[in-house]
Amino acid sequence: MDLGLKDRVAVVAASSQGLGKAVALGLAREGTRLALCARTASTLEETAAEIRRETGVEVFTRALDVRLDGEVERFVADLLERFSRIDICVANAGGPPSKSFTETTMEDWRAATELNLLSTVSFARHVLPPMRERRWGRFLAITSMTVKQPVAGLILSNSVRSAVSGLVKSLSNEYGPYNVLVNSVCPGYTATGRLLELAQKQAREQNVSPAEIEARWAREVPLGRIGRPEEFANLVVFLASERASYITGTAIAVDGGIVKGIY
Ligand code: NAD
């Protein structure tokens, strides 16, 4: 299947490692030109160099914090100047800390809202108007399986990411008439630095090894294993493509079947 992604321009946020990096690489393998951002310039540049080496595509980078709307705004303005358009935007950020409700402070709630909801709002505010003008766009938000089934100890993610799902659905209604498609993709347990951090925290609390925690998670998954970042990226790349032209307003899980509900 020709995905029609060659020479499209994609912004992938929080992409120096993990799911964002896998999505960037997946798009680059289809010939998409990239703009990547993350907080640390050195790791971001290493990732960009790796992607250029493997695929030969143009990769623009900017070290920034996705929580800062002014930085996102300047980044998008510079991209529009350089590439004259943005076709695809993948909104992403780190995850909030693992806590129970009683452990959270108001500051934790504000921080999670800034990191996961407001960063998505910020990218949407800056990339959707030029997409609307060109009558072509794909806006994709990386959320979590927690929007379909709350995970114990992840109350910040369970709550704040559901707001992102509401945002995405609303945006799909508002931008559908302009052929700008808006969807979210909900990862289950996927082998990245973030998952290892969560495994290490639970391992300390339960006095077992991180490998034991990961083995327990794998046993909860019908497919019997943790996912690979590229398995997640494959869906994002498809949704970003020309071939996904009638899909908008959805929240699709890539979770090995762990979510028990039907929808
Ligand atoms: P990760 O920790 O491996 O990578 C996160 C990336 O985000 C890194 O590149 C980091 O530099 C960047 N980043 C973090 N905070 C940032 C900020 N404020 N500004 C700019 N860049 C920032 O995480 P991941 O596993 O790739 O997860 C990506 C998202 O998906 C996270 O929100 C995570 O909580 C969520 N998620 C992951 C899983 C999983 O199993 N991996 C499952 C469900 C949800």
Give the DSSP per-residue string, 133-189. HHT-EEEEEE--GGGTS--TTBHHHHHHHHHHHHHHHHHHHHHGGGTEEEEEEEE-S
CATH superfamily of 9-188+228-254: NAD(P)-binding Rossmann-like Domain (3.40.50.720)
144 in contact with ligand 1, CB cutoff 6 A:
yes
Q: Considering only CA atoms, which residue is closest to atom 12 of ligand 1?
A: 14
Parse the chain into domains and list their residue ranges.
9-188+228-254, 190-226
67 in contact with ligand 1, CB cutoff 6 A:
yes
- How many angstroms is it from 194 CA to the middle of ligand 1? 6
**pLDDT number for residue 58:** 97
Residue pointed to by tokens 């990226």: 233
**pLDDT number for residue 247:** 98
Average of pLDDT values for 33-44?
98
Report the residue count for the chain: 263
What percent of the chain lies above the pLDDT cut of 90?
Answer: 98
**Encoded tokens for 22:** 């896998």
**pLDDT number for residue 11:** 98
CA angle 163, 119, 137 (to 5 degrees): 90
The model's pLDDT over 104-147, given as tens digits with 9 standing for 90+, comes to: 999 999 999 999 999 999 999 999 999 999 999 999 999 999 99
- The whole-chain average pLDDT of the chain stands at 97
What percent of the chain lies above the pLDDT cut of 70?
Answer: 100
List the one residue out of 212, 186, 217, 220 whose CA is nearest residue 19: 186
Q: Considering only CA atoms, which residue is closest to atom 34 of ligand 1?
A: 95
